[in-house]
Amino acid sequence: MVRPDRRIDLLEYRPLTSSMNLLHRVDGSARFCFGQTSVIASVCGPTEVTTRDEKLDEATVQVVVRPATGFARTKEKLMESILRTAFEPMILTGMMPRTLIELVVQIEKDDGAALSAAINALTLALVDAGVPLKGMISSTTCIIDKTTDDLLLDPTHEEIQNAASIHTFAFNPSITTPHTILTESSGQFSEKQLFECLETCFTASSKLNGFLRVTVESKKTKEYQQLHE
């Protein structure tokens, strides 16, 4: 089976690309791409927080998602909620009481798996900003094709149009068992299919985790070289 973007393997990622420290006037930023799907994330903070949002014993985490065109709608508001649920427990907010950490996601192009791309971009942006974390997060999306019942990893927008269900998982790479930080599923699927998707995405994520690790190490190497020029 040849997929719309000419991948032959059903369990293959599209080309992965990323970069860090892209934007000025923010504390951290990164871009992450699955093929044509591209997301930029930025982090500001910890900074001063308004009295209304202030928490006495921890930092306040706010998430803003901006679509590629137009204004934020229900889809973006839902993504904001999902991202907050994923990242709040992973940020060591107790080390930064009475402050604000603002996470901003700009969808540049959504050709499928934008939520996973946003999670991966935010992880890199948080590392770039030096925000203390319990661990990194990586995310992978898959679908069950409604015509063939095949499981397709990292689907394109075209493939999602023919999906019986879509599943996005986020993992902590330091945990060696398929324990999810986030599970987001929609559509019609069986319990067996859900666990198959979980296992497949967890297994595939080892490649993604390695890619994210290399991105961070490359950034650190570049900074070291600049310091010693």
Q: Which residues pair with 44 in a beta bridge?
A: 102
Distance of CA 227 to the CA centre of its chain: 30
Delineate the domains of the chain, giving CATH numbers in brackets.
16-227 (3.30.230.70)
Beta strands of 57-191 (E only): which ranges? 60-66, 99-109, 138-145, 151-153, 163-171, 180-187
Reported as a single tens digit per residue, the pLDDT across 26-64 is 999 999 999 999 999 999 999 999 989 999 999 999 999
Question: For 128-184, what is each residue's pLDDT tens digit?
Answer: 999 999 999 999 999 999 999 999 999 999 999 999 999 999 999 877 776 789 999
Whether the model pTM is above 0.85: yes
Which two tokens mark 201?
């995405």
Task: Check: CB of residue 172 under 8 Å from CB of residue 137.
Answer: yes
* CA-to-CA dists, residue 127 to 26, 145, 179, 195, 200, angstroms: 13, 35, 22, 30, 27
Residue 121 tokens read as 């971009």
